[in-house]
């Protein structure tokens, strides 16, 4: 990872540390709903990872699963991506590094980042985290 940020797999034990970021992203998500979401991702085929700083503050969160594309290549699919962008922060690069590490760990040849919020303006805005992955020469769909 790097000196400023570290990856933290999210399960029942660590769910509360990521909830403030989830609440900041969408205040309608209750603690109970969040814990249910974490439990579901802890048992199924997908997992959750948070990126936290040295103080333990979570700055990013995403779910991932391993599947395959039409060419039957192993694909790392990233979803539920929440990133708190702060001036001067290297969070996008930190997320990109963790995604690259997970892809390498599972032998994935391609990474897909799901974009759940698509408005006309958002379509043109791009994704800083995806841009950071592209700089690392990953193919992003």
Q: Compute the distance between CA of residue 60 and CA of residue 69 in angstroms, rounded to an integer.
A: 26
CA atoms within 13 A on the CB side of 82: 18
Establish if 141 belongs to a structural domain.
no
- 116-125 per-position pLDDT tens digit: 655 555 555 5
- Does the model's pTM come out above 0.75? yes
In a domain, 41, yes or no: yes
Q: How many CB atoms lie within 10 A of CB 97?
A: 19
User: Would you say the C-alpha torsion 77, 101, 36, 16 has a positive or negative sign?
Assistant: negative
Q: What is the pLDDT of residues 51-72, one digit of tens each?
A: 999 999 999 999 999 998 888 8
In a domain, 61, yes or no: yes
First to last CA, the chain: 23
pLDDT tens across 89-106, in order?
Answer: 788 899 999 999 999 999
Domain count along the chain: 1
Residue 92, token pair as written in the block = 């996008």
Domain coverage including residue 25: 5-135
């Amino acid at each position: 990872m790097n000196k400023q940020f570290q990856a933290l797999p999210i399960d029942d034990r660590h769910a509360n540390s990521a909830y403030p970021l989830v609440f900041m992203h969408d205040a309608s998500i209750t603690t109970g709903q969040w814990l249910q979401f974490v439990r579901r991702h802890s048992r199924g085929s997908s997992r959750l990872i948070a990126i936290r700083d040295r103080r333990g503050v979570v700055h990013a969160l995403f779910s991932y699963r391993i599947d395959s594309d039409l060419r039957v290549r192993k694909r790392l699919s990233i979803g539920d991506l929440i990133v708190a962008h702060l001036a001067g922060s290297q969070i996008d690069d930190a997320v990109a590094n963790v995604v690259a590490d997970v892809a390498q760990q599972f032998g994935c040849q391609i990474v897909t980042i799901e974009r759940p919020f698509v408005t006309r303006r958002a379509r043109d805005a791009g994704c800083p985290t995806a841009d950071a992955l592209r700089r690392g020469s990953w193919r992003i769909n």
